[in-house]
Amino acid sequence: MKKFDLILFGGTGDLSMRKLLPAMYRAFAQKSIDPASRIFVCCRKKQDYETLNQTIKTSLEKYLEKSELTDAQWQAFEKILRPVLIDIASDHQGWTDLKQELDKAKHDLRIFYLAIMPSLYASCCEKLAKYELRNASSRLIVEKPLGYDFDSAEAINQSISEYFTEEQIYRIDHYLGKEAVQNLLALRFSNFLFESLWDSKSIDHVQITITETVGLEGRGEFYDSTGAMRDMVQNHLLQLLCLVAMEPPSRLSAEEVRNEKIKVLKSLKPIKASELKNTCVRGQYVSGQIDDVKVPGYLDELENISSNTETYVAIKANIANWRWAGVPFYLRTGKRLNKRNAEIVIQFKQVTHNIYEENQFKLQPNRMVIQLQPEEKILLYLMTKDLGANESEIMPIALHLDYKHSTSSVKPSAYQRLILDAVEGNSTLFIHRDEAKAAWSWVDPIIKQWQSDSDTPEFYKAGSTGPNAAKKIFENAEHSWFELEKHEV
């Protein structure tokens, strides 16, 4: 276990409080962090040690399971926290104080985590260099969204690359840290059964869904200039698509895995302006009801009467390569939908001839459902005979792999896993600059076309399954969005 210093810029921001500090507490409680490590919580507003710690404790109480936060653990964790007063944009004593504190450590592994606006990345890195805070073994973790299009993302990448090498930069996409996502790799690359069926000869189409019930969560200004395409599709959904579609890497090393993902991103067929209407649907929620609670529409939440920002996207993507030619990848994501769900559905082809047809039994295609949330499970739907029934009465049954029952301890969170990977210097589950470039290259023309179109997003009711138009993107009349609960057997 390596001793390290984590320097958290934006230490009192929403991400730190909701995700990063709870992840670090959990890692500490699970003894994955050496107690000689330290976490520097950088904030702009002067506050005493007790006040800051109380704020952190309150948010741990909110975001961790009740049983996880014990007095004894908290008191031990509190000892590794260090509040730091820093204004990133200006030169002041805080930087020198931070350097002195860092230099006191007997180890020199420094992880700088930029949980701040990307517009501040360059000036933060410049200060780290100027005040000699970084060293050759330092690592820099940067949060998405990295820019709002290809050019701005590259400008940010360029500016941070003046201070850190590509090997030192860890671009985080927390979806890659989710356990079920890593299981997808294990499933694909350690089971002959699936890998030999993993191509256009056997797979009919793939669906990747991330739906949320939450709305803006106080991030209105950020979200309105971002939208679902940049916030979710450019990163999380395309990363999941890569893991489904990539060729087997020759080794599980960062370089090999990232190279295979880049190839997939570069093989994504550009969507032409003339195809946009039938392949990309965008929506925006209006008021509705979720779990019997009335929720406001997007514009009301935003307190703005006009905005064309999309809160929902559905896309039909195609990968132009030998393995996937002709297999549509349907992607969808949206806020304020009927349920929180993230899943990948692999739909296999139908058998070539239905011998049950005469008895009017319609065969359903085999499907593999990899659910990432709310629960982590894998379901494999097979057609089988109903026990005791007539020999020709067949029905779909799901083989069910449920991680909830197969693992006993509290699972590490995505951020916990990824930050500890960065500590270990393992960048396999982080995004290479070239991946980000390739993803923006595919997404940019769609966004530009939307901006120049006179069309506006289609409205959908909060609590619904999304805009009606999202059904139109299926090229085959037999296809439809998969709804898990209807199929649970």
Q: Which residues bind ligand BG6 (CB under 6 A)?
A: 174, 212, 231, 342
In the complex, least distance from residue 364 CB atom to ligand BG6, rounded to whole angstroms: 29
Q: What is the separation of C-alpha 82 from the centre of its chain, rounded to a whole number of angstroms? A: 29
DSSP assignment letter at 135? -
In the complex, least distance from residue 217 CB atom to ligand BG6, rounded to whole angstroms: 7
State the number of CA atoms in the 13 A half-sphere of 235 facing the CB.
26
Residue nearest to ligand BG6 (CB): 231
Which residues lie below 8 Å from residue 266, measured CB to CB, with a gap of 6+? 438
Secondary structure (DSSP) of 436-464: HHHHHHHHHHHHHHHHH-S--PEEEETTS
**Nearest residue (CB) to ligand BG6, 128 versus 233:** 233
DSSP assignment letter at 389? S
Catalytic residue among 205, 236, 405, 487: 236
Q: Please report the sign of the dihedral spanned by the C-alpha atoms of residue 373, residue 374, residue 378, residue 384.
A: negative
In the complex, least distance from residue 176 CB atom to ligand BG6, rounded to whole angstroms: 11
Residue 92 annotated to the active site: no
**Nearest residue (CB) to ligand BG6, 1 versus 117:** 117
In the complex, least distance from residue 320 CB atom to ligand BG6, rounded to whole angstroms: 28
Q: Hey, what are 212's tokens?
A: 């949320």
**Nearest residue (CB) to ligand BG6, 37 versus 338:** 338
Q: What span, in angstroms and rounded, lies between the C-alpha atoms of 445 and 440?
A: 9
Taking residue 54's Cβ as centre, other Cβ atoms within 10 Å add up to 12
Cross-strand bridge partners of residue 169: 140
Are the C-beta atoms of residues 312 and 285 closer than 8 Å to each other?
A: yes
Which residues lie below 8 Å from residue 122, measured CB to CB, with a gap of 6+? 156, 159, 160
In the complex, least distance from residue 331 CB atom to ligand BG6, rounded to whole angstroms: 15
Residues assigned a catalytic role: 236
